[in-house]
């Protein structure tokens, strides 16, 4: 009889983080596909789905909605930076190529290095600071500094990555404090809905059934991505799998070419190569340092 073989924890982590990239790329696709709707309206419906899922999970848990008193300041900062970053990312998705907008959002790990100095008191070394500088130079190839509006859209996309990077630092801090994942997701989703609600009320644009379905799919895809990425980092260490998160760019570029007839220009491709190259180098460097 042959022995039953199972995937290692690291291999499972890699599969889950690739699954997260796949889901998040579909989220950006459905955000774009939903058409000419206000950014805040899109953000509200995307987070409403995640809030419902997190609420169900907390209702089924033994601790319910209990939040540690010491967690509140970090939760507030996670919600603030996460929400503003998400809104800017959605705005960039509507104004830029899908691949470009996704790539700028993936600057978040490099912003997290900077944020960790202040949030977690973790000092980066010279090599890590060098990857931050080079990655930002790669971002300049994508946003292409100029006096045109496309440059402004690129800067907004960069802030999307900054907001996400700072938010991830606070998520890590909350994890160290022992706060539960569903609590963090619930607070972020609820805050985002409340933040975007006034804009939704005063700028609401009637939606066709297919647009409602598109935003619902964006929310479901985002929720799937959150669960996949959470499971991935439970299965394996970040140093072993984080670089595979950049598969989201490949998926987003494919959807952009297939459905929106988008083809990034040469400078954008060079920017992708620089940023992903920095991520791969940093991943290899961290693994070597740990070993």
Q: What is the pLDDT of residues 26-49, one digit of tens each?
A: 999 999 999 999 999 999 998 898
- pLDDT above 60 for 3: no
pLDDT for the residue numbered 5: 52
Q: What is the pLDDT of residues 117-136, one digit of tens each?
A: 888 888 878 888 898 899 99
> H helices within the chain, ranges in order?
9-33, 39-59, 72-95, 98-105, 108-119, 126-143, 149-176, 181-203, 209-235, 238-241, 247-260, 266-290
Query: What are the structure tokens assigned to 77, written together?
Result: 């900062």
pLDDT for the residue numbered 8: 79
Q: For residues 105 and 134, what is the distance between their CA atoms, to the nearest angstrom?
A: 16
Question: Locate tokens 């949030």: which residue?
Answer: 119
Per-residue confidence band for 238, with pLDDT thresholds at 50, 70 and 90: low
Per-residue confidence band for 232, with pLDDT thresholds at 50, 70 and 90: confident
Per-residue confidence band for 4, with pLDDT thresholds at 50, 70 and 90: very low
Report yes or no: 106 and 275 within 8 Å, Cβ to Cβ.
yes
- pLDDT above 80 for 230: no
Q: Indicate the pTM of the whole model.
A: 0.86
Residue 187 exposure: Cα atoms within 13 Å on the Cβ side: 26
The answer for residues whose C-beta is within 8 angstroms of residue 128's C-beta and 6 or more apart is 113, 282, 285
Report yes or no: 274 and 134 within 8 Å, Cβ to Cβ.
yes
Query: What are the structure tokens assigned to 1, written together?
Result: 């009889």
Please name which of 223, 213, 197 lies closest in space to residue 54, comparing C-alpha atoms. 223
Report yes or no: 138 and 275 within 8 Å, Cβ to Cβ.
yes
Residue 247 exposure: Cα atoms within 13 Å on the Cβ side: 16
Q: For residues 135 and 142, what is the distance between their CA atoms, to the nearest angstrom?
A: 11
Question: Locate tokens 């603030």: which residue?
Answer: 80
Q: What is the pLDDT of residues 153-203, one digit of tens each?
A: 999 999 999 998 898 888 888 888 888 888 888 999 999 999 999 999 999
- DSSP SS3 for 180: coil
- pLDDT above 80 for 231: no
Question: Locate tokens 């000092």: which residue?
Answer: 123
Distances in whole angstroms, Cα of residue 217 to Cα of each of 88, 91, 182: 20, 18, 20
pLDDT for the residue numbered 131: 87
Query: What are the structure tokens assigned to 128, written together?
Result: 């890590």
CA 220 to chain centre: 15
């Amino acid at each position: 009889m042959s022995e039953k073989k199972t995937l290692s924890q690291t291999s499972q982590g890699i599969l889950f983080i690739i699954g997260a990239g796949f889901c998040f790329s579909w989220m950006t696709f459905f955000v774009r596909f939903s058409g000419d709707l206000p950014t805040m309206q899109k953000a509200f419906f995307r987070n409403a789905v995640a809030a419902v899922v997190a609420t169900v999970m907390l209702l089924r848990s033994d601790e319910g909605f209990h939040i540690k008193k010491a967690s509140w300041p970090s939760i507030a900062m996670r919600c603030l930076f996460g929400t503003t970053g998400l809104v800017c990312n959605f705005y960039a998705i509507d104004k830029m190529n899908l691949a470009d907008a996704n790539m700028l959002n993936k600057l978040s790990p490099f912003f997290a290095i900077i944020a960790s100095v202040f949030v977690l008191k973790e000092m980066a070394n010279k090599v890590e600071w060098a990857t931050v500088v080079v990655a930002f130079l790669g971002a300049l190839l994508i946003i292409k500094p100029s006096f045109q509006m496309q440059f402004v859209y690129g800067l907004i996309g960069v802030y999307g990555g900054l907001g996400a990077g700072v938010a991830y630092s606070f998520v890590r801090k909350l994890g160290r404090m022992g706060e539960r994942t569903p609590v963090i997701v619930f607070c972020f989703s609820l805050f985002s809905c409340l933040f975007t609600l006034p804009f939704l009320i005063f700028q609401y644009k009637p939606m066709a059934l297919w647009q409602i379905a598109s935003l619902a799919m964006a929310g479901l895809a985002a929720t799937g991505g959150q669960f996949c990425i959470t499971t991935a980092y439970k299965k394996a260490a970040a140093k072993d799998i984080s670089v595979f998160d950049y598969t989201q760019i490949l998926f987003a570029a494919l959807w952009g070419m297939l459905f929106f007839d988008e083809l990034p220009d040469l400078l954008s491709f060079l920017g992708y190569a620089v940023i992903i190259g920095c991520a791969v180098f940093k991943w290899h460097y961290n693994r070597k340092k740990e070993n």
